[in-house]
Structure 1
Amino acid sequence: MFLEYSKQADAVFCFPCRHFSSGSKDPAFTENGVKDWKNLKKKLQKHSESSTHKQCFERWHLFKQSKKVGSVLSQLSNSHKMVVHENREYAAKVTSLLLYLATKGIALRGHDERQESTNRGNFLELCDLFARYDEAFAKKLSGSFNLTGHATQNELLEIAADIVKSNIIEKIQENVFFTILVDEACSFKQEQMTVWIANIPIVAQCYDGAAVMTGHVNGVQQKMLQDYPTGWACRWKNVTAVKNSMRALLNSLSELSEPPYRRFIEASGLLQNVRKIEFCVCLIVFDSVLSIIHVAHKALQAQDTTLSQVSDVL
């Protein structure tokens, strides 16, 4: 039905002609309204057969069809968004399970991963366990988009490894110091070397068996010791001994700097350096600083030390 009634005007109008007319229109059904109730049937029949009304009615029909199509498209779009959201939630859960096993160093795959196998591998077994308590996860796991294939596992692990490497590189670039730790182990046919990079603000060295290495890398330990011979805390005893025995040291060097001692020239040079004011100032400063460092050094290396004890010392 295309009629509409106005209570205020007490008249009937043609809805499609009022709203969808693009040219000439019948003012009786669009502007003034029809109040001739006695002849209303004849006028309605005449108006419905007019070409103007038919065109307006067709436009109205097409408009309603377009609204239905728009509603369907909207439903399809919402359905697509929901599917995408569910897939992302499932992918996040699978990735979390995969990374949990990887970070713990637990093997992912089994020797027999068929559905009827009693042990399909840690990853698939963990997914099955998780599916018992999550219906949405179980539904996705049983479908074709389950992300449990070997290729998918490798790809997810490679992506995670790239992210970790990027974070390490970013931290190294932001900070001044980082530590390199190198270790090697001999397998059946070859030696394998592992390199760690730690973002630790200290200068450190770590080597194992470097003194007996052969080939073009021989002497790594000696080269390291040339630049970093020892920790400063180990020098405290030497500095304290020189400070407490300064008078005896001067007398001994004075006696040794005269012939006929074989190394009297070396002793004479040492005596001149010890008598300099710079040597005395550095000796006092080093003794004051290293005495503090020595306390922390002993506390950190003690076998029975605790975190609270070290915190008090530091």
Structure 2
Amino acid sequence: MRLELKAKGPPRPEIALTQKCRSKTKTFTRAFKSEQYIKTPWLCGCEDSNKLFCFPCLVFGACAGAGGGGESVWTDTGVDDLAHLSIKVKKHSQSRSHMLCEVQLSSIGRHDIRKALDTAYRKSIREFNERVDENRYILRRLIDCVVFCGAFQVALRGHDESTESRNPGIYRGLIDFVSEIDLAMKQHLSSSTVFKGTSKTIQNDILDAIYEVCRSEIQKQITNAEFIAIQADESTDCSTIQQLVLIIRYLHNGKIFERFLKFIQPKDYTAEVIAAEIMKELDSLNINKNKLIGQTTTELPS
């Protein structure tokens, strides 16, 4: 409705508004002239009451009643005091309520930039969240491939991991297999230019992340356990380098758990050095040493 009123514009009829005035020497009659409409764009008239009103304030119902700051005459009763019309027009033009109505009237029908910005912002947030969900899904598939290799104790990488290789390794083979049955993974591998998840750096990062998550969960369970036991064992890797293997046992929710903690390469394999390495690892996990009730060593100095 207000948009229609704005489109029609303020009514400006020829009104028979006159006022008899008296000076010290003579009496004369003032008459309203239509040129006043041009001088005051917000001015409108009523030919029934022969009075003047404020169009923006009428449209928005401002200035009415006791809260109009003395300007309610422009919306309630109308103005017919021609002798002081210029003063009243100037005063009303500077009133806060009138200026607010002027701004509101000028904004009707215009595109609200605030809504446009808000819509664009919400769209960007939605698109960002969609990309995050897609990336998380792809990362979940990559993690599944790494976990699969770990569950069956097979090496991730092959000797040649190039796209032309006939034997790129178990990890690359799993990713290629998943892409054949998973459209999202296939699109990711064909369109991604920065992060495909097939490089050895990404593989190592995923392994480190899995290790940290598992270690954090183990630490929580150890913290809640009443007693723990440590097993230190010797192991030799594929390069024939001796390693110290730390395993921890504890009771959690009525079940016994045996968890691998860490591979350590001590400077020496004396009892003192091994004991120091074990205590250092317990300290890194913030384990209360009073919980330690058992220690087992195999092929190590006691």
**Scaled by the length of structure 2, what TM-score is found?**
0.49
More strand by share: 2
Larger radius of gyration between Structure 1 and Structure 2: 1
**Scaled by the length of structure 1, what TM-score is found?**
0.47
- Using CA pairs under 8 Å that are at least 6 residues apart, name the structure with larger relative contact order, 1 or 2: 2
